[in-house]
Amino acid sequence: MGEDGGAFKPMNKKTTLILLLIAVNVIVMAQQTFISKVPKQYSFEFGYRNLFAQSNFVNQSTHGYGMLFDYAWQLSGLDGKKSPVYLSVPLGYTVLMPDNPESKSVHMLNYGWTVRHDLSHGHKWTPFVAYGLLLNNMRITDTEGSLFGHQTQFDLGVNMNTSGRLKYYAKIEYSYTSYPRFNESERIRLHYADLRIGVRF
């Protein structure tokens, strides 16, 4: 034995860095493999929207229609023993029509994240709840520019499972959106209710 009595010598910085890079690469590859194997689900929905409460918003446009496409990953219930939970990325577009000749139509584009919980599994009818945090871009016809706001939404609905790939659903939705105003401390605040039907595949 040498002077160090055969003890292990500490690794130099270069060796440590190489091992760290290998470990990170293995973790990234494992995550990519897991994500590629996670069940995915697509949804498309269409329905009616009602703006039932607002503050600091002078334009009178309270009724309209909207559509949304949703791409989801299943996070739990993969073994079929528990109800599934999905994390999704929605992209939606809504139009509110003017209530009178003095008002203008309102156009909204929203996107963000949604978590959806199925409340049962293995049945033809499956109730679900969902919660979403989104960005909302609002534009008023014949008005220059647009506003970006934060949208929070809650869904309550039911899935109709079929023997095929397509699954149908209906839901009611509450959304709250707030937008900043230039040189004003009070924000624009809008409250919506939606009734929508859709299909998952």
The amino acid present at 73, given as its one-letter code, is W
54, β-bridge pairs: 190
As a whole number of angstroms, the distance between CA 136 and CA 24 comes to: 36
pLDDT tens, N- to C-terminus, the chain (201 residues): 444 444 444 456 666 676 677 666 655 555 554 555 789 999 999 999 999 999 999 999 999 999 999 999 999 888 878 899 999 999 999 999 999 999 999 999 999 999 999 999 889 999 999 999 999 999 999 999 999 999 999 999 999 999 999 999 999 999 999 999 888 889 999 999 999 999 999
For residues 134 and 151, the answer to whether their CB atoms sit within 8 Å is yes
Please tell me the predicted confidence (pLDDT) of residue 73.
Answer: 95
For residues 196 and 158, the answer to whether their CB atoms sit within 8 Å is no
Please tell me the predicted confidence (pLDDT) of residue 19.
Answer: 67
> Beta-carbon neighbour count of residue 147 at 10 Å?
19
> What are the boundaries of each domain within the chain?
9-38, 40-200
User: Is residue 37 within a helix (H) or strand (E), and if so which, with residue range?
Assistant: helix 13-37
As a whole number of angstroms, the distance between CA 73 and CA 183 comes to: 41
- Does the domain at 40-200 match CATH 3.40.50.300? Answer given as no
Please tell me the predicted confidence (pLDDT) of residue 33.
Answer: 47
In DSSP notation, 121-182 reads -SSSEEEEEEEEEEEEEEEETT-SS-EEEEEEEEEEEEEE--SSS-EEEEEEEEEEEEEEET
Please tell me the predicted confidence (pLDDT) of residue 8.
Answer: 43
Please tell me the predicted confidence (pLDDT) of residue 23.
Answer: 67
